[in-house]
A = this chain, B = another copy of it.
Amino acid sequence: MPTMGALHEGHLSLVRKSLAETDVSIASIFVNPIQFNNPSDLKKYPNTIESDIKLLESIGCQMLFNPSSKEMYQSLPNLKMDFGNLDLILEGKFRPGHFSGVGIVVAKLFNIIQPDVAYFGQKDYQQFLVIRNLIQDLSIPIDLVCGEIIREPEGLAMSSRNKRLSPDERKTASVIFRSLTKAKQEIAGKSMTEIKKEAEILLQQSGLRLEYLELADRSDLKLIQQYNPANPSILLIAAYLGEVRLIDNMFV
């Protein structure tokens, strides 16, 4: 499974899934510069390589690929990838160029490692769909597996960015999970406009700023205004606590 390090229980659950389902598990740790649209986000991205290696060893991961930037990029790639609608909405809209950088680095890692199965987390659900798209559109002979979201006791989705939050802030940030849960409970009876307004207020009361909360089709993330229980859907959210941008999602 490709990671950017700063490993947490979310990553480890993917490694455990791979250990259970395959012969050899390979994790990669590479903080990919070309997927950061915000340079200060790249600069502040946590680097915990020593403890990452210990964690991977402790659960029995057989191999680690930890290349340098120079090994991955002799020069900056000329190629850009455009994933159509997936690039225009949600993370694609708020992080221009992000998925091109993700697509290129994942294609590179696939070509270097040549795995039979690749594990990605549901927490970055739009990224998961981008990779699914990449695999399908380029006929890459890899099975893609989606691992479930692992959460802190209070509900905050595990993320490397959580390392930039204090223990108190992590509790505060669990309001994101509570907003999602509330939205899911109310989605059959209320409009998305009402639901967004309520989430915005709930988040504000805890000092968070809502960037987006959307209901979308689970297969392609086309945005939906009116919930239909017949169609598999997903609620997706992004919010800021101070300077730290956090995302989460929930199937409905």
Chain A residues in the interface with B (C-beta under 8 A): 72, 74, 77-86, 103-104, 107-108, 111-112, 133-134, 136-141
Contacts and interface: CB of A to CB of B under 8 A. Distances in A.
B83 A138 contact: no
B84 A81 contact: no
Nearest to A77: B137
A130 to B, nearest CB: 9
A218 to B, nearest CB: 16
A35 to B, nearest CB: 14
Given A77-B136, A79-B138, 20 more contacts: A72-B139, A77-B137, A78-B83, A78-B84, A79-B81, A79-B82, A79-B83, A79-B84, A79-B103, A79-B133, A79-B134, A80-B81, A80-B82, A107-B139, A108-B137, A108-B138, A108-B139, A111-B138, A111-B140, A112-B141
A81 B136 CA distance: 14
Which interface residue of A78, A111, A134, A137 has the most chain B CB atoms within 10 A?
A78
A75 to B, nearest CB: 8
B78 A86 contact: yes
A75 B137 CA distance: 9
B78 A133 contact: yes
A141 B111 contact: yes
Which interface residue of A74, A81, A84 has the most chain B CB atoms within 10 A?
A81
A107 B85 CA distance: 22
Contacts of A141: 111-112
Contacts of A78: 83-86, 133, 137
A136 B104 CA distance: 11
A27 to B, nearest CB: 18
A141 B72 CA distance: 13
Q: Which 8 A-B pairs have the closest CB atoms?
A: A77-B137, A108-B139, A79-B137, A80-B82, A107-B138, A78-B84, A111-B139, A111-B140
Nearest to A111: B139
A155 to B, nearest CB: 33
A104 B140 contact: no
A30 to B, nearest CB: 12
